[in-house]
Amino acid sequence: MRFKEIGWNGILVRVPEDMRLTRHGGDHREGIFLVGSEDSLIEVSWIPISKKSKSLLEIVDKITNRIKKEAGKKKMDFKIRERHDTVVNDHKAVYLLLDYGVKERYYIWRCPESNRTVAVRFFFRKYDEEARKIIKTLIDTIECHGEKYVWSFMKIRFETPKTFLLNATEIKSTEMNIALLEEKLSTFEERKRSIYVKYFPAANVRFKDTYRNLEEWFKKNYMEEFGKKILKRRKVSFKIKGEKKLGSHTVLIEESKFSATFTRRGKEICSVALWYCPERNRIYLFALYTQVYRPFPFKIRLKAEEHEALFNEILESFRCH
């Protein structure tokens, strides 16, 4: 069995290659994602640990009570077949085997490093050797905290600082985009940085005439929409900054700079990386957009080197096939 990674909101799991991210919700504080195949379902969820928050056992009881109640409504017998202590990613954890006609397995633990209580729920149509291997692999290798957030899904992978939080996402079979946002507000300054990642599948068919010339492709197919949607500007123009190697791909880098709008004093810089991946037949777009606003008479400082360093760091972390 071959495994692949799914990284989402600071949790990284390894699941069989045929399983897909089917649903997701919430954010880094409190959220959920599901990966599934025809015969199995894995649900990863997390809630914040707060000062008032309950002990792990209380959370375990809450989960079992909820399922017991649901099973009761459907007049199904509910049993806790197994319940014992275990360890996940060096955290003390509880394992549960629940039975209410179907059997579900749970691992629940607290991760103080990410300040979250994490629960992983497994459901298999058939609990066999393969299912056991899936659980073992996931539980043995799950990462619930780390230096950076690893985003890995739809055969794309990149790493971001933990200060960037999920802001918007759209995942369909034909389209994918994700936006992460970091905001720093102080009395006299507003500083925003956003990461935007998108890909365009079936590129050689959809963009027959331009997929080999990304400058042309961008201008013709996406720059205007990008300007409106992401930069909130009707007119944008980009300048070529250069090229970079990413594995076997050549990445085109473009940049756009803006200063004050009519209503606000600010400086903005947006760097865009574009590349065509023949292995997946996708055009990828990664953008970093830095915005700084300050009222008069303060001087507006936008550190272009810092912006560029982060842009390069994230770009180098990309795996696209």
Where does this chain bind Zn ion (CB under 5 A)? 111, 113, 144-145, 277, 279, 320-321
* Cβ-contact 192, 179 below 8 angstroms: no
**Whether 212 contacts 237, CB under 8 Å:** no
* Shortest reach from residue 18's CB to Zn ion, in Å: 21
C-beta of 269: minimal distance to Zn ion in Å?
Answer: 26
Nearer to Zn ion, 68 or 280 (CB): 280
CA 108 – CA 141 distance, rounded (Å) = 15
In the beta sheet, which residues pair with residue 243?
252
Cβ at position 126, least distance to Zn ion in Å: 31
Asked if 288 contacts 270 with a C-beta cutoff of 8 angstroms, the reply is yes
> How near is the Cβ of 159 to Zn ion at its closest, in Å?
16
Taking the C-alpha atoms of 48, 54, 56 and 61 in order, what is their torsion angle to the nearest 10 degrees?
-110
CB of 157 to Zn ion, least distance (A): 11
Q: Closer CB to Zn ion, residue 82 or residue 279?
A: 279
Angstrom distance (rounded) from CA 99 to CA 120: 16
Give the angle 302-307-308 at the CA atoms, nearest 5°: 130
H or E element in which residue 307 lies: helix 304-316
In Å, what is the CA distance from 1 to each residue of 127, 156, 249, 299?
A: 16, 20, 29, 58
CB of 243 to Zn ion, least distance (A): 15
List, edge to edge, every strand of the sheet that includes 156-161. Answer: 11-16, 3-8, 148-153, 156-161
144 vs 288, which CB is nearer to Zn ion? 144
**Residue closer to Zn ion, measured from CB, 148 or 321:** 321
* CB closer to Zn ion, 140 vs 306: 140
Which amino acid is residue 154, in one-letter code? M
Q: What's the alpha-carbon Rg for the chain, to the nearest Å?
A: 23
Closer of 71 and 285 to Zn ion (Cβ): 285
Nearest residue (CB) to Zn ion, 139 versus 292: 139
Task: Give the shortest CB-240-to-Zn ion separation in angstroms.
Answer: 21
